[in-house]
Amino acid sequence: MNHTKGGLVIFTANSHPSSRELGKRIAERLGVELGKVQVYQEPNRETRVQIQESVRGKDVFVIQTVSKDVNTTIMEMLIMVYACRTSCARSITGVLPYFPYSKQCKMRKRGSIVSKLIASMMCKAGLTHLITMDLHQKEIQGFFNIPVDNLRASPFLLQYIQEEIPDYRNAVIVAKSPASAKRAQSFAERLRLGIAVIHGEAQDAESDMVDGRHSPPTVKTTGAIHPSMEIPLLIPKEKPPITVVGDVGGRIAIIVDDIIDDVDSFVAAAETLKERGAYKIFVMATHGLLSSEAPRFIEESAIDEVVVTNTIPHELQKLQCPKIKTVDISMILSEAIRRIHNGESMSYLFRNIGVDD
CA distance 274 to 101: 33
Judge if 133 and 190 occupy the same domain: no
- Are 83 and 159 found together in one domain? no
pLDDT in tens, the chain (357 residues): 455 666 999 999 876 676 788 999 999 999 999 999 999 889 999 999 999 999 999 999 999 998 888 999 999 999 999 999 999 999 999 999 999 999 999 888 888 999 999 999 999 999 999 999 999 999 999 999 999 999 999 999 999 999 999 999 999 999 999 889 999 999 999 999 999 999 885 545 454 445 544 455 555 554 555 666 677 888 887 778 888 999 999 999 999 999 999 899 999 999 999 999 999 999 999 999 998 899 999 999 999 999 999 999 888 899 999 999 999 999 999 999 999 999 999 999 998 887 767
* Same domain assignment for residues 127 and 178: no
First-last CA distance in the chain: 35
Q: Are residues 258 and 316 in the same domain?
A: yes
Give the count of beta carbons closer than 10 Å to the beta carbon of residue 156: 16
Domain span at residue 55?
8-151
Q: Is residue 222 part of a domain?
A: no
- Residue in 5, 12, 6, 79 with CA at minimum distance from that of residue 42: 79
Helix (H) or strand (E) run with residue 325 in it: strand 324-327
Shared domain for 35 and 57, answered yes or no, is yes
How confident is the model at residue 116, as a pLDDT? 96
Residue 149 phi, psi dihedral angles, 5° rounding: -105, 110
Same domain, 159 and 63: no
* Region for residue 233 given its phi and psi (left: phi exceeds 0; alpha: psi -120 to 50; beta: otherwise): beta
* Residue 161 three-state SS: helix
Give the helix/strand (H/E) hosting 50. Answer: strand 47-51
Do 168 and 314 belong to one domain? yes
- Number of Cβ within 10 Å of residue 98's Cβ equals 24
| CATH number of residue 318's parent domain | 3.40.50.2020
Please indicate, yes or no, whether residues 115 and 187 belong to a single structural domain of this protein: no
- Answer yes or no: do 293 and 254 share one domain: yes
The residue count for the chain: 357
Cβ neighbours, 10 Å, residue 52: 8
Close Cβ partners of 342 (under 8 Å, ≥ 6 residues apart): 4, 5
Residues 6 or more apart whose CB falls under 8 angstroms from that of 127 comprise 81, 92, 93, 94, 146
E-strand ranges in 274-323 read: 280-288, 305-309
Q: Enter the DSSP assignment of 249.
A: T
Using DSSP's 3-state secondary structure scheme, residue 115 falls into helix
Model pLDDT, residue 353? 83
Determine contact, residues 59/9, Cβ cutoff 8 Å. Answer: yes
On whether residue 220 sits in a domain, the answer given is no
Beta strands 305-309 and 324-327 are: parallel
Q: How many structural domains comprise the chain? A: 2
Residues 80 and 11 sit within 8 Å (Cβ to Cβ): yes
Same domain flag for 158 and 282: yes
- CA-wise closest residue to 72 among 149, 19, 133, 132: 19
Q: Are residues 22 and 89 part of one domain? A: yes
CB proximity list for 184: less than 8 A, separation 6 or greater = 173, 174, 175, 195, 197, 256
18 part of a folded domain: yes
Q: Are residues 55 and 25 in the same domain?
A: yes
For helices 154-164 and 181-191, angle between their N-to-C axes, nearest 10 degrees: 50
Rounded to two decimals, the pTM is: 0.88
